[in-house]
């Protein structure tokens, strides 16, 4: 079988960096392009951070495209408490590649072009607010039908929030974009929700073992995650109960499923949408378990992960 063709859409904070390293190490995938959008950090820092990871992994041949600088409504919500001011744990690299390596083509145009060039063959992996992807669907209404599949890290299924009271960061950061994507895309859609990640938190013992491997990639991740780990173990971070139990790097759960679909051992399939207006629930993903909304397209929502396979994938990628 041929390699899986991927477009990655990222808001490169530290968890995106780990997910990209997983993808670069996977022998069964080919990355046709990386599109950048604001989210964890500003668009300029996202672009810089992607280039840093490409250089680390000797993959500078992969084209990187600059995308949306704000949400569809012109808002920018950054997560500097967890990711640092630069999105990479505030660990500067004086030798990092400059923005001159970013392609001149806009990310949304590149997505549409790549999907047209490889119609029905490309999987889009969305690890960020869905702004670029919503814009692509609006610019070219046929775009959603030309993808092989769409993988999303975002949303929630039990109203557990990490941003608003009941909403997950990626969906909350651009609610309108999430609504467009969930309603417009008809290709097979797979969602790694916030709760899916929470159910599979890695122990701090495993984290230490993973990051203490004698490799350049492990040393890089250990450095950029130090800020996040410190926050997780701080008084502020420990108020969020999921940080108390271990290490959580959400984007890697979605990427692992793309690389090896046997990683997901249990899932459900329902129509999904997003709450647009609630004062406490804006951005919350709505799972239509009663089929009350009669949504024609059903998304696959991950429930359980093979943790031994997952840990082995993480370990192998950093060797």
Residues carrying an active site annotation? 11
| Chain centroid, CA 278 distance in Å | 25
Rounded to the nearest 10 degrees, how much is the dihedral formed by the CA atoms of 59, 256, 285, 269? 130
50's tokens = 């992607």
3-state SS, residue 230:
helix
The secondary structure element, H or E, covering residue 269 is: strand 264-274
Q: Which of 81, 104, 7, 20 is nearest to 55 (CA)?
A: 20
Do residues 135 and 73 lie in contact, with contact meaning Cβ atoms separated by under 8 Å?
no
Do residues 96 and 56 lie in contact, with contact meaning Cβ atoms separated by under 8 Å?
no
The secondary structure element, H or E, covering residue 136 is: helix 131-139
DSSP 203: P
Largest distance between two CA atoms of the chain: 55
How far is the C-alpha of 43 from the C-alpha of 53, rounded, in Å?
A: 16
């Amino acid at each position: 079988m041929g390699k899986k063709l991927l477009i990655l859409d990222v808001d490169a904070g530290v968890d995106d960096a780990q997910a990209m390293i997983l993808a670069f190490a996977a022998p069964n995938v080919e990355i046709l392009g990386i599109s950048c959008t604001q989210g964890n950090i500003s668009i300029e820092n996202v672009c810089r951070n992607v280039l840093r990871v490409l250089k680390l992994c000797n993959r500078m041949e992969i084209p990187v495209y600059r995308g949306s600088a704000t949400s569809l409504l012109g808002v920018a919500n950054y997560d500097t408490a967890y990711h640092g001011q630069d999105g990479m744990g505030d660990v500067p690299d004086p030798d990092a590649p400059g923005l001159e390596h970013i392609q001149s083509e806009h990310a949304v145009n590149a997505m549409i072009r790549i999907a047209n060039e490889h119609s029905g063959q490309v999987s889009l992996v969305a690890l960020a607010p869905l702004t670029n992807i919503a814009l692509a669907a609006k610019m070219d209404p046929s775009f959603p039908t030309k993808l092989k599949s769409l993988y999303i890290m975002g949303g929630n299924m039990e109203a557990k929030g990490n941003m608003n009271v009941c909403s997950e960061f990626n969906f909350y950061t651009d609610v309108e974009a999430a609504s467009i994507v969930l309603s417009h895309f008809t290709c097979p859609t797979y969602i790694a929700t916030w709760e899916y990640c929470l159910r599979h938190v890695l122990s701090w013992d495993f984290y230490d073992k993973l990051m203490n491997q004698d490799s350049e990639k492990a040393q890089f991740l250990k450095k950029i995650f130090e800020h996040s780990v410190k926050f997780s173990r701080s008084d502020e971070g420990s108020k969020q109960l999921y940080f108390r139990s271990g290490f959580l790097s959400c984007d890697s759960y979605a990427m692992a499923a793309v690389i090896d679909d046997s990683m997901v051992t249990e899932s459900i399939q329902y129509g999904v949408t997003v709450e647009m207006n609630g004062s406490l629930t804006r951005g919350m993903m709505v799972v239509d378990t009663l089929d009350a909304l009669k949504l024609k397209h059903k998304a696959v929502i991950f429930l359980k992960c093979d943790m031994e396979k997952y840990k082995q994938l993480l370990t192998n990628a950093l060797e």
